Structure 1
Amino acid sequence: MTRVLIVGAGPAGIRAAQRLVTAGLHPVVVDEGARAGGQIYRRPPEGFTRPPQTLYGSEADKALELHRCFDRMLDAGQLTYHPRSSVLALGAQGAQVLGPDGVDTLAYDKLILATGATDRLAPVPGWQSAGVYSLGATQIALKSQGVALGRRMVLAGSGPLLTLVASQLRKAGAQVVAVLDTAPLTTQAAGAFGMALARPRVTLRGAALRAGLGRSYHAGVTLTRIAMNSTGPVAIHWQDARGRDHMTPCDMVGLGWHLRAETHLADLAGVSMAWDKVFHQWLPLTDAMGRAAAGVYLAGDGMRILGADGAELAGKIAASACLQDLGVPAPDTERDLKELRRMQRFASAMQRAFPWPAQMVRDLPADTVLCRCEAISVGDLRTTLSLSGPEANRAKSLSRVGMGRCQGRYCQLAGAEVLAAEAGVPVDKIGRLRSQPPVRPAPISAYLDKGPDARAK
């Protein structure tokens, strides 16, 4: 039996597993979550009383159907599932996986990476304070525990997730006093036309959520700083589209500018990367069906940021590519590929509507913390340029930016922007940080051989 390993149990991973199971294969699924569903359809703990319509809104039916699909396969013994587990490294022997019982190695013949995405963050002076979270973390707390992370909350950044999280918090009864979007209205309007052509219903739904925010929503802002004391944020300072200064008292700030594809494992698997000017990040190179390297297939936001619907399609298509390469009959993908291209048009238009705030990052004061893990400032990184030149990995070795527990997930793009501005070169010329195992923090104790008696427990 061919061993197929799927990393990730979100929409892409679930649909990939379903297609493989239908073809008679028994995939192994590894996922960091306690229950399958991924970030967007994250499931609360057992006994959680908030109904799906409250948790997932208009996506409740999709979420429940995905959950049931995975649970049926698991209950029927059609797949092997490793929850609360992280793939740390990939090698000739297989995938090194950290689970509740320590580190183990899972051998595979084919690998489907459905690793999803993480928040894409831009530094703001003061963002290192306790009480400053990513939008994704804010959403996780709400979905998994029904918790609002502050009593007087400000959300800032750009993109649909900003509007969605603000709407979800308000629906749950939380006080969101301001939603600060760095994208100007003119840019949003220009991109919205392409979004509406590709996915009119989704675009209208987003517009309705935006309208529901009322006068708390502000577009075209520049974030100046987050004022804080010993317990966390006390206010956020910002400029409106006309350049007027504002100060909004708060005790929590959530930040996020779209998403960043999670590509560390793809990098370790030998997948080539290329700078995407529209998405403003390094993305894997694949064929139309997700083939990325020998025996390696990509699906979902870890390949392109297309959202949940696009991830489901990409999961089916990647599994079909895997089946084709195994010589196993696979469903025709022409219709799925056509639909996926429509999702890609929508996503590209959305990225243009809500761009990365490059100039805001380039203008950061020298004392702004850039790398929160290592407490490295923008000025620290700029001073390395005379020795490192405009090259990300040399700058990392001299400054330690990207050496912390997040391994550059939250500082790499901003760091490249700072170096590019200082060197006077395009940001893609800075290059990208090489991925290193383990791709997630792992305790030393997990690697220790505790003996047969300990393992038996």
Structure 2
Amino acid sequence: MSTGEKPRVVIVGAGPAGIRAAETLVAAGLTPLVIDEGERAGGQIYRRPPQGFERPPEVLYGSEAAKAVALHQTFEALAAAGRLAHHPRSSVVAIAQGRLQVLDGAGSRWVAYDRLILATGAMDRIMPVPGWENAGVYGLGAMQIALKAQGAALGRRIVLAGSGPLLTLLAVQLLKAGGQVAAVLDTAPMRQQLRGFSGLLARPLFAFRGLMMRQRLGGLYHAGVRLDRIETDERGPVAMLWRDAAGRSQRTACDTVGLGWHLRAETRLADLAGCDFVYDEIWRQWLPKADAVGRASPDVYLAGDGLRILGADGAEVAGRLAAAACLQDLGLPAPDIHADRRRLVRLSHFARGVAKAFPWPAEAVAELPGETVVCRCEGVTAAALRETVAFGGGEVNRAKSLGRVGMGRCQGRYCELAATEIIAGSAGRDCVRAAGRLRGQAPVRPAPIASLLQEASEG
């Protein structure tokens, strides 16, 4: 950066965190560049339908409609005024030497940055269930995206299974849209949910809304279940086999299954950017290490669910904090952050309550039957994973090299957490942390070989 030239700040992600980060930088006189895989800003939580889609925001986002519309309007106004540069339908697949390799419809190019804000969000956290590798089994997030973006319910008779707020929310949204939900199966026992209640009271209105949605489900909702198997034929699911809280076997006919246990932070780019990681015992996953305002290194900042899983409101706060930290480090005027720091503490307390009330079913994962497919991309079973322990010493990257887990299209995004639990359990380790985490590598997204072989242009 030459003297008198504005620093180039690049934001990856145009969800709540990325939008608020951009807004903060623009207010300080900068013109950030925002790269996002979506066609329109909003992220997954406030995903926007195609142009001309007629369903109103109140139907798409419910009680969060006003927040969603405000974020969309803020971003569009800044982009229309030329106060930020928006690059939609673009994927960052590599980071090296202060540059991002970006793929879009025109090919590959390198984008240099002085400061980088990663607001990469999160995705479904999935526990493998025997039969989940078949067509007709989706993540809860994917089902919600189809509902928001296209007004489509994936399936005619749907079973939703997992745990966390999205499980209840999606069930209510599907019912409201006219979908037929056969059962909502929560692996968290009711007594466990009550243990996290004190944390949930950090946001009483939010907790109350959740209770009201739960009440609307009535007898469809079952807590403390054990998932046995998804029964399938050549067309996909025909039934979910499960056990209720009393241990009684149940069979619910269906043609579609949605699975999800809250969220898994999207951290691949943070890994390539050189961020350190720590294992979070409550969330039972590896998360990037950053200070209280998202500063991960002298030129990299993290915000949103890719750093701490705090939901949409927390992402907005974290986006402002990361941008403020960036401005401070650049020696530019930054907004006062004390109020946002206090908000973040409250939101963190609530998020911990959620994690405690709706835990990842680690014991059930570790005990999965040997024939269960853990890695859908490569067809790796739980038994095959356990066999690697004798040769790999119970470390997940060795299991990857020996058994191909995590080598597929998703690079372990869907299977890593479950694979680590299985490997650690088979190795007799008391702590999953000892099994390690899969190392990130470029490209972090599937990319055409031609685009990687060509000489990338500078952007």
**Residue equivalent to 2:217:** 213
Q: Does 1:81 align with 2:91?
A: no
Q: Which residue of 1 aligns with 2:367?
A: 363
Q: 1:279 matched to which residue of 2?
A: 283
CA deviation vs aligned residue, 1:386-417 (integer Å, no higher than 9, x gap) = 10011110111000000001111110110011
Shift of 1:448: 4.8
Q: Which residue of 1 aligns with 2:166?
A: 161
Structure 1 residue 445 displacement after superposition = 2.5
CA distance in 2, matches of 1:440, 1:451: 17
Unaligned runs of 5+ in 2: 1-5
Question: How far apart, in 2, do the equivalents of 1:449 and 1:97 lie?
Answer: 13
Query: Structure 1 residue 189: deviation in Å?
Result: 1.0
Match of 2:3 in 1: none
How far 1:449 sits from its partner (Å)? 4.1
> Is contact 1:269–1:293 with CA below 8 Å preserved after alignment?
no
Gaps of 5+ in 1: none
Q: Percent identity?
A: 62
Q: 1:441 aligns with which of 436, 446, 452?
A: 446
2:191 paired with 1:181: no
CA–CA distance in 1 between the matches of 2:361 and 2:271?
26
In the alignment, the residues of structure 1 paired with residue 410 and residue 246 of structure 2 have an alpha-carbon distance, to the nearest angstrom, of 36
Aligned amino acid, residue 322 of structure 1: C
Determine whether 1:385 maps to 2:376: no
What is the rounded CA distance, in whole Å, between the counterparts of 2:364 and 2:239 in structure 1?
Answer: 19
Over 3 Å counting, the alpha-carbon distance change for 1:355 and 1:150 in structure 2 is same
Query: CA 1:386–1:409 in structure 2 vs 1: closer, same or farther (change >3 Å)?
Result: same
Corresponding residue for residue 136 of structure 2 = 131
- Aligned partner of residue 79 in structure 2, secondary structure: helix
| 1:404-415 paired onto structure 2 within 5 Å | 404-415=408-419
Q: 1:192-233: per-residue Cα shift (whole Å, max 9, x none)?
A: 22211x110000011111111110000000000000011100
How many corresponding residue pairs?
452
CA RMSD of aligned residues (A): 1.3
C-alpha distance in 2 between matches for 1:77 and 1:194:
42
- Superposition pairs for residues 174-323 of structure 1, below 5 Å? 174-196=179-201, 198-323=202-327
Q: Taking structure 1 as reference, are residues 182 and 451 closer, same or farther at Cα in structure 2, changes over 3 Å only?
A: closer
Q: Check conservation: 2:98, 2:114, Cα contact below 8 A.
A: no
Q: Distance in 2 between matches of 1:31 and 1:11?
A: 12
Rounded Cα–Cα distance in structure 1 between residues aligned with 2:453 and 2:281: 44
Given that residues 129 and 228 in structure 2 are in contact (C-alpha distance below 8 angstroms), is that contact kept between their aligned partners in structure 1? yes
The answer on 1:372 being equivalent to 2:381 is no
TM-aligned CA deviation for residue 446 of structure 1: 2.1
Q: What is the alpha-carbon distance in structure 1 between the residues aligned to residue 74 and residue 315 of structure 2?
A: 15
Q: Which residue of 2 aligns with 1:6?
A: 11
Q: Which residue of 2 aligns with 1:72?
A: 77
Give the Cα separation in 2 of the matches to 1:449 and 1:190: 55
* TM-fit CA distance, 1:152: 0.1
In the superposition, the TM-score normalised over structure 1's length comes to: 0.98
Q: What corresponds to 1:63 in structure 2?
A: 68
The equivalent of 1:342 in structure 2 is 346
